[in-house]
Structure 1
Amino acid sequence: MQNPTSADIQRVRDFLVDLQTRICTALEQQERAGGGQAEFIIDDWKRPEGGGGRSRVLQNGTVIEKGGVMFSHINISKLPASATERHPNIAGAKAQAMGVSLVIHPTNPNVPTSHANVRLFVAKKEGQEPIWWFGGGFDLTPFYPNDEDVLTWHQTAQNLCAPFGDEIYAEHKKWCDDYFYLKHRDEQRGVGGLFFDDLNQWDFETCFKYIQAVGNGYLDAILPIFQRNQNKPYSEAQREFQLYRRGRYVEYNLVYDRGTLFGLQTGGRIESILVSMPPLAGWSYRPEWDADSAEKKLTDYYLKPQNWLQKLNQA
């Protein structure tokens, strides 16, 4: 397996820094298109152990209620359990990890919450060759979904996967469905997308091109969804349902999300780790909705893993 050089790692870092900037610029343009003026604030930080990052956060916008687009490149002197349970051979190794991770919580319940992440991990244990892999993906968590948005999201995912093999979209879509699952609720977090980890099945350059495609594909997928939905009217009841469903997002991130666990176990910067949390969320005791309501359709239809491209292209 080809090991990345310091120049390779720098190229990945350069891409990630640029990706963060381009995503923030595009989302600020959507904010302004909806009549808002909020911008991403920049917060640079360093870790005592080595490395640091740039957090960019937009709050209280007209279109985006809260959004965090985070870049980090950290050094780790001893890997935690969250990183070594799948790789016990590198327990205690030194490592570096870099990535861009984002969660965008829109104001309008008709616009889904979205998440994306691309990252590189390199570990080196004394007397052993370095071990590296890429990870990432993007997923969509709607409150009042429609078929056009789901099709846009998954068609973009399939298109970007196609140059890397006919099977990649199906494999990484299934991985996403399996990963973003709330076991205690027996419920998907959203309508899925792509998820992958431990990606080193190709040479380093091909793997790098894939995470570039995924990172760039996020904007291709989410911007049309914002444009179609951000100016739709909504009721107070729909807003309350949005907050209720955001509670599921909080449950998932605190109980299951590997990135959250990794950050906490490596002594990460808490504000950056928990920036994915929505500004407001709600919990209700055994809420009920009419059988033919949009709220009921979310859980009974859209939150069921299925072949969206086949279903919606045939509709």
Structure 2
Amino acid sequence: MQNPSHVDIQRVKDFLLDLQARICAALEQQEALGQGTAKFIIDDWTRAEGGGGRSRVLQEGTVIEKGGVMFSHIDIKNLPASATARHPSIAGAKAQALGVSMVIHPKNPHIPTSHANIRLFVAQPEGKDPIWWFGGGFDLTPFYANDEDIQQWHKNAFDLCQPFGEQVYAEHKQWCDDYFYLKHRDEQRGVGGLFFDDLNRWDFDTCFKYIQAVGNGYLNGILPLFEKHREQPYTEEQRAFQLYRRGRYVEFNLVYDRGTIFGLQTGGRIESILVSLPNAVSWSYRPCWQEGSPEERLTSYYLKPRDWLNLGTSKVSHTI
């Protein structure tokens, strides 16, 4: 297996920083098209343990209520349990991790919340060759869902996977369904997309090309949804439902998300780790929605794993 050189790692870093800048520019354009003036602030930081990052955050916009697009490249002196459970051979090893992670919370309830991340992890066990893998993906969390938006999102994911093998989309779509699942609620966080970890099944360059496709594919998937719904009117009741459903997002990120756990265990920068949490959110005790309403249908139909590309033959299943 090809081991990444310093040059290879720098290539990944350059792409990640460029991706971060392009995503922020595209989202700022959506903000401007919605007559907003909010911009992403740039917050460069370093950590005493080694490495640092560039956090870019937009808050209280007209179109985007909160968005965080975060780059980090950190050195780790002693790998924590969250990184070694599946790889006991690297326990205690030095490592470096670099990636871009983003969560965008639009203000309009008709625009889904979206998340994406791509990352490279390289461990250096003493006296052994480096152990490396890529991870990442993207997923969609609508509040007022419709088949057309979800199919467009998954068709984009399917298309970008095709050059890498006919089974890649199905595998990484299933992984996404299984991962973004709230066990204590018995429901999905959203309608899925792609998720993968421990990716080194191909040579380094091919794996790198795949995460480039995923990173670029996020923009191709989310921008049409902004364009479609940015000016769509909404009611106070729809806004209240959005805030209620955001509570599920918070629950997942604080209870299950590996990135959050990894960041906390490695002494990460807390503001960057928790940037995915929305500024406005609510909880309610056992609310009831009218049967057949969009609110009720979200959980009874849309928040179930489905074959979104072939809804006529779709079967609901879960492998957890």
Partner residue in 2 for 1:118? 118
- Counterpart mapping for 1:230-309 below 5 A: 230-309=230-309
Contact 1:187 1:303 in 2 (8 A): yes
Question: Given the alignment of the two structures, is residue 135 of structure 1 paired with residue 131 of structure 2, yes or no?
Answer: no
- Shift in Å, 1:313: 10
User: 1:257 and 1:60 mapped to 2: Cα distance?
Assistant: 25
Q: Matches of 1:152 and 1:48 in 2, distance apart?
A: 44
| Correspondence for 1:75 | 75
Q: Secondary structure at the match of 2:275?
A: helix
TM-score calculated relative to the size of structure 2: 0.97
AA aligned to 1:237 is: E
Output one character per residue of 1:160-205: Cα deviation in whole Å (capped at 9) or x when no partner. Answer: 0000000000000000000000000000000000000000000000
Residue identity matched to 1:80:
P
How far is 1:86 from its partner?
0.5
**Once the 2 structures are TM-superposed, how far is the Cα of residue 127 of structure 1 from its aligned partner?**
1.1
CA distance in 2, matches of 1:86, 1:50: 24
SS of corresponding position for 2:288: coil
Deviations 1:130-177 (A, max 9, x none): 000000000000000111110111000000000000000000000000
Determine the C-alpha separation between the residues in 1 that align with 2:168 and 2:125: 31
Aligned amino acid, residue 85 of structure 2:
E
Question: Which residue of structure 2 lines up, in the alignment, with residue 107 of structure 1?
Answer: 107
Q: 3-state SS of the aligned residue for 2:121?
A: strand
Kindly provide the amino acid, as one letter, of the partner of residue 221 in structure 2.
A
**Alignment coverage as a number of residue pairs:** 314
- For residues 107 and 28 of structure 1, the distance between their equivalents in structure 2, rounded to whole angstroms, comes to 14
Match of 1:171 in 2: 171
**Structure 1: 5+ residue stretches without partners:** none
C-alpha separation in 2, matches of 1:248 and 1:223: 24
Distance in structure 2 (CA, Å) of the matches to 1:145 and 1:232: 14
Counterparts of 2:210 and 2:26, CA distance in 1? 21
> 1:39: which partner in 2?
39
What is the rounded CA distance, in whole Å, between the counterparts of 1:29 and 1:36 in structure 2? 9
Measure, in 2, the Cα distance between the counterparts of 1:79 and 1:245.
35
Counterparts of residues 1-16 of structure 1 (less than 5 Å): 1-16=1-16
Q: Indicate how the Cα distance of structure 1 residues 48 and 42 shifts in structure 2: closer, same or farther if over 3 A, else same.
A: same
Tell me the SS of whatever aligns to 1:161.
Answer: helix
d(CA) in 1 for partners of 2:286 and 2:98? 41
Alignment of 1:79-98 (within 5 A): 79-98=79-98
Paired AA for residue 65 in structure 2: E
C-alpha separation in 2, matches of 1:278 and 1:85 = 30
Tell me the distance in 1 between the aligned counterparts of 2:224 and 2:124.
42
Work out the CA distance in 2 between the residues paired with 1:292 and 1:310: 23
Asked if 2 retains the 8 angstrom alpha-carbon contact of 1:151 and 1:312, the reply is no
Find the counterpart in structure 2 of residue 48 from structure 1.
Answer: 48
- CA distance in 2 between counterparts of 1:217 and 1:2 reads 26
